[in-house]
């Protein structure tokens, strides 16, 4: 009997220990994140690493969202810009597969992986964070705010639970939390008369991008042709690749051979990602404002489109050894947990990032590049092939833009305090969403959201009152990019100086469209010219820079200018020449007062002596004002 009670004691102890995460009816956390997708996972890891208690709510048993749960495991863009958590994830993939070359398996991307491997990596990273708790198979029922505290009711496998937090992050796929909290938002395309964008339509509409149920196929080396689907219609897929049925393609330039089509998304270990927009498995349906039950019903057709495309691949294209991978998703139909949503609600934020900010960042009244917290280099890519009447909407298939820095104010909604919005629901125009929706940018958005949330908690400030520079400095410390300079990677000793000086606008980069990988260059090795320094006047109005003077400058010329700025601003006396010389030696540069100075050397001098990045505060619109 004594042994019996002893066993009962230990059983009870183990049960309480294992289920302790659900035991209490009410729990407090500093940061609560709804959605364990790409940005939600990134935000959770970052906020917990910064020392604040964080809870992440995820509806499935996976982490990673579009990268894993939706199967979009071929990375679009940012291959040369491994910023922040995106860089960490890429490094983890390289380690997992045993080398960077092992990721370049298909022709659409240099980084491709199995979704299940991505999920394992995200879960391993999250598991190591002592300040982070993840609630899987759980969902938000409702949320309210009282006394500057969020109160969220959560449905978990062990019953309902209340979680209270100071900061709430919406990292859902469609911006559902933003709607619950009363944030104003847009769906579809804005009018060009609202955004001022040249590529926007004249009239606003509610048309969103096609979504996709991705298929992860596996080569079984035997015939695995599925039965003909009941609602199969071969005409939907006729020109997805060259074949005898495709006699009059609408876009002949995009009709490749079956082998070219299938190897587009070749993954490691004999698998293939099917996310094919050209008469493939894209599907148009706008489920954003539907109820969960309505969404489930509407998405059945999207799944059937993918099943039909698989049958077309097997039957009409002759690839009958390819079938749904049986070792990726533990779902009945072997399909991903969720579809790939390219578009969602887009909040009204403290700023709205538009095509004009991408095309001409320095010429806008809002200098949003000064507030950047993430970088992207993919063109604007909108999917509308499955929408009936797409000839009446802007053609934004690889619409050219330069690479860019995404501003912090896009994550902060108007008129709702204590909320940060991530994923694809940030405050960008419909056009810009076509590039900010890509996976590396979304991971960085999570980075910034987690950083902003943690700083708000630690500094006991409202989210909108957290210093832009505090967020940017934290991101830089962890290997993040603010601006997408290709000529000075983060491994370069001058990386931080160029990121900081570039983010003030004192020295400006040059962006251009370059096909699938758009570019921005600092022109680091170019000789500095007098009018390169015109941006100094924004911070130091009394500096004498001649706008039309393009004469080349020597090191001694710049030191004279810097000396005058320090003298007029009554800065502490510093032996500038000695300080710069020591700093140059530390960074591996040669100091010579009598030689022409390059732009990268000028950035080092300005950053070290004037520290303009931190000398003045910048608000969410990029305006300077004096530090208090």
Residues linked to residue 144 through DSSP beta bridges, in sequence order = 151
Q: What is the pLDDT of residues 358-395, one digit of tens each?
A: 999 999 999 999 999 999 999 999 999 999 887 778 88
pLDDT score at 3: 43
Q: What is the pLDDT averaged over residues 300-315?
A: 98
pTM for this prediction: 0.94
Secondary structure (DSSP) of 194-208: HH--TTS-SS-B---
Residue 18: burial class (beta carbons within 10 Å; 0-12, 13-18, 19+): exposed
What CA–CA distances, in Å, run from 107 to 270, 378, 493?
15, 16, 33
Q: What is the pLDDT averaged over residues 599-608?
A: 98
Q: What is the pLDDT of residues 141-156, one digit of tens each?
A: 999 999 999 999 999 9
- Measure the CA–CA gap between 330 and 115, rounded to whole angstroms: 12
pLDDT score at 2: 40
What CA–CA distances, in Å, run from 376 to 82, 481, 494?
10, 10, 21
Residue 190 has what DSSP assignment? P
Does residue 303 sit in helix, strand or coil? helix
CB-based contacts of 155, cutoff 8 Å, min separation 6:
138, 139, 140, 141
Which residue, 39, 36, 43, is CA-closest to 134? 36
Helix and strand totals (H; E) in the chain: 19, 21
- pLDDT interval class at 453 (50, 70, 90): very high
Does residue 488 sit in helix, strand or coil? coil
Query: 81-95, 143-157, 246-260, 570-584 — which is least confidently predicted?
Result: 570-584
pLDDT score at 569: 64
Does residue 20 have a pLDDT over 90?
no
Q: What is the pLDDT of residues 64-101, one digit of tens each?
A: 999 999 999 999 999 999 999 999 999 999 999 999 99
- pLDDT interval class at 14 (50, 70, 90): very low
- pLDDT interval class at 398 (50, 70, 90): confident
Helix (H) or strand (E) holding 458: helix 439-458
Percentage of residues in the chain having pLDDT higher than 90: 88
- pLDDT interval class at 572 (50, 70, 90): low
Query: 4-18, 388-402, 498-512, 562-576 — which is least confidently predicted?
Result: 4-18
Its sign, for the CA torsion 224, 228, 230, 232, is positive
Q: What is the pLDDT averaged over residues 166-182?
A: 98
Mean pLDDT, the chain, whole residue set: 93
| Beta strands at 419-421 and 159-170: parallel, antiparallel or unpaired | parallel
- Measure the CA–CA gap between 176 and 295, rounded to whole angstroms: 13
Q: What is the pLDDT of residues 319-339, one digit of tens each?
A: 999 999 999 999 999 999 999
């Amino acid at each position: 009997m004594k042994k019996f009670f002893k066993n009962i004691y230990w059983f009870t102890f183990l049960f309480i220990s294992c289920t302790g995460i659900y035991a209490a009816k009410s729990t407090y956390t500093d940061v609560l994140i709804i959605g364990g997708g790409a940005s939600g996972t990134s935000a959770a890891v970052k906020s917990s690493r910064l020392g604040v208690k964080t809870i992440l709510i995820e509806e499935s048993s996976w982490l990673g969202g579009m990268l894993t749960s939706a199967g979009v495991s071929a990375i679009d863009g940012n291959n040369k810009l491994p910023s922040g958590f995106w860089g960490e994830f890429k490094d983890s993939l390289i380690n997992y597969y045993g080398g960077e070359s092992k990721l370049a398996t298909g022709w659409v991307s240099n980084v491709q992986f199995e979704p299940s491997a991505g999920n394992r990596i995200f879960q391993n990273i999250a598991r190591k964070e002592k300040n982070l708790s993840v609630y899987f198979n759980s969902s938000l029922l409702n949320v309210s705010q009282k006394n500057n505290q969020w109160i969220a009711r959560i449905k978990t496998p062990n019953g309902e639970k209340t979680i209270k937090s100071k900061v709430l992050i919406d990292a859902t796929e469609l911006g559902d939390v933003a709607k619950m909290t009363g944030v104003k938002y847009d769906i579809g395309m804005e009018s060009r008369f609202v955004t001022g964008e040249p590529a926007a339509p004249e009239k606003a509409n509610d048309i969103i991008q096609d979504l996709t149920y991705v298929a992860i196929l596996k080569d079984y080396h035997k015939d695995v042709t599925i039965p003909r689907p009941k609602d199969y219609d071969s005409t939907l897929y006729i020109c997805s690749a060259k074949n005898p049925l495709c006699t009059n393609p609408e876009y002949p330039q995009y009709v490749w051979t079956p082998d070219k089509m299938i190897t587009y998304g070749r993954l490691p270990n004999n698998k293939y990602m099917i996310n094919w927009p050209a008469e493939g498995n894209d599907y148009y349906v706008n489920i954003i404002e539907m109820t969960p039950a309505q969404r489930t019903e509407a998405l059945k057709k999207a799944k059937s489109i993918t099943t039909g495309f698989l049958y077309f691949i097997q039957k009409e294209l002759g690839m009958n050894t390819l079938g749904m991978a049986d070792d990726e998703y533990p779902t009945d139909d072997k399909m991903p947990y969720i579809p790939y949503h390219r578009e969602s609600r887009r909040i009204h934020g403290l700023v709205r990032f538009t095509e004009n900010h991408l095309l001409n960042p320095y010429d806008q009244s809002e200098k949003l590049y000064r507030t950047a917290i993430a970088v992207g280099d993919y063109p604007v890519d909108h999917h509308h092939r499955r929408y009936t009447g797409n000839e009446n909407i802007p053609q934004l298939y690889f619409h050219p833009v330069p690479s860019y820095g995404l501003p912090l104010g896009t994550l902060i909604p108007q008129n709702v305090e204590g909320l940060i919005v991530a994923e694809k629901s940030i405050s960008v125009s419909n056009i810009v969403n076509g590039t900010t929706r890509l996976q590396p940018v979304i991971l960085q958005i999570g980075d910034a959201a987690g950083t902003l949330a943690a700083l708000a908690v630690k500094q006991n400030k409202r989210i909108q009152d957290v210093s832009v520079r505090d967020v940017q400095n934290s991101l830089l410390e962890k290997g993040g990019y603010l601006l997408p300079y290709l000529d000075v990677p983060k491994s370069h000793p001058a990386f931080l100086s160029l990121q900081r000086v570039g983010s003030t606008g004192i020295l400006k980069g040059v962006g251009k469209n370059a096909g699938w990988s758009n570019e921005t260059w600092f022109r680091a090795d170019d000789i500095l010219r007098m009018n390169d320094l015109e941006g100094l006047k924004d911070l130091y109005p009394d500096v004498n820079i001649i706008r039309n003077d393009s004469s080349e400058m020597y090191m001694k010329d710049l030191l004279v200018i810097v000396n005058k700025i320090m003298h007029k601003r009554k800065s502490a006396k510093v032996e500038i020449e000695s300080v710069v010389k020591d700093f140059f030696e530390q960074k591996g540069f040669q100091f010579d007062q009598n030689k022409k100075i390059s732009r990268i050397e000028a950035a080092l001098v300005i950053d070290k002596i004037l520290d303009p990045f931190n000398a003045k505060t910048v608000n969410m619109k990029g305006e300077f004002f004096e530090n208090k």
